[in-house]
Amino acid sequence: MADENFGHPRLAAIYDALDPDRGDLDAYVRIAEEFGARRVLDIGCGTGVFALLLAARGVEVVGVDPARASLDVARGKPGSDRVRWLHGDATALPPLRVDLATMTANAAQQIVDDQTWRDTLRGAHQALRPGGHFVFETRDPARRAWKDWNREASYGVTEIPGVGAVESWTELTGIDGQLVSFRQTYVFAADGHILTSTSTLRFREREEIEAELAAHGYTIRAVRDAPDRPGREFVFVAQRLETGS
């Protein structure tokens, strides 16, 4: 089930406005170019920002996401007819044969259940052509990103055309091993309405992810640094084996 900030129509509609700087996607565009990817599967595509960036470059893109409200936003954007949008996740995809599969931003960490994570790795593997690449990022647990998840550090007011001012902030609500939970609050000045979204991310260790990838038929080509958050994230570049599973 998608978190409210992706699945609630009113929150999905303002998601891009609250996070307008998507410079983090530049590295993924360069990766698609590096591997000469002509067909890409964007897992957890959300409101479609990355999928549309690739489609505008002539790439054939399939975007899949469990949040119907986010997909509705994506479908309403210019150029959306160039992308094949799927409601769901990587555990139940139609037959595909893509050159590159991606999970940008927090998509990988939002998969907290062990079995769903393994099914996602398996689903991405099945969607790739032999020799295709799977690229995703996850935060380094040692950097404790959640230490700044509090109202004082995250509070802001965003003026959104057609919506008005929206106050927003994030508050840490709990830590249970690798699971870190938080609540995001949104206050709409136009009518005083308050919406909240609760989320949990899983902070897996690098070695654990590498072992899972190897177990599901991938060769790890590199673990890179995230250009927009140096020293804070791992970017896994894995390749489906040419033969075998």
Query: Tens of pLDDT along 186-233?
Result: 999 999 999 999 999 999 999 999 999 999 999 999 999 988 888 999
Place of tokens 């084996």: 241
Say yes or no: 100 and 221 in one domain: yes
Reading the block at residue 104, the tokens are 């940008």
Say yes or no: 116 and 155 in one domain: no
Encode burial over 169-198: b for 16+ CB neighbours within 10 A, e otherwise.
bbebeeeeeeebbbbbbbbbeeeeeebebe
Residue 190 resides in a domain: yes
pLDDT of 156 > 50? The answer is: yes
Residue 245 resides in a domain: no
Residue 105 resides in a domain: yes
Say yes or no: 210 and 122 in one domain: yes
Choice among 4-8, 34-38, 66-70, 153-157 with the minimum mean pLDDT:
4-8
Say yes or no: 81 and 192 in one domain: no
pLDDT of 91 > 70? The answer is: yes
123 Cβ neighbours under 8 A, 6+ residues apart: 89, 90, 91, 92, 93
Owning domain of residue 76: 4-141+204-240
Q: Tell if the pTM clears 0.85, that is, is over it.
A: yes
Q: How far is CA 23 from CA 27, 28, 105, 133, 228, in A?
A: 8, 10, 11, 22, 7
Say yes or no: 18 and 119 in one domain: yes
Alpha carbons 69 and 23: distance in angstroms, whole number: 23
**How large is the average pLDDT for residues 109-127?**
97
Say yes or no: 110 and 214 in one domain: yes
pLDDT of residue 245: 45
Reading the block at residue 214, the tokens are 């190897």
The structural domain count of the chain equals 2
Say yes or no: 86 and 165 in one domain: no
Say yes or no: 103 and 179 in one domain: no
Say yes or no: 100 and 8 in one domain: yes
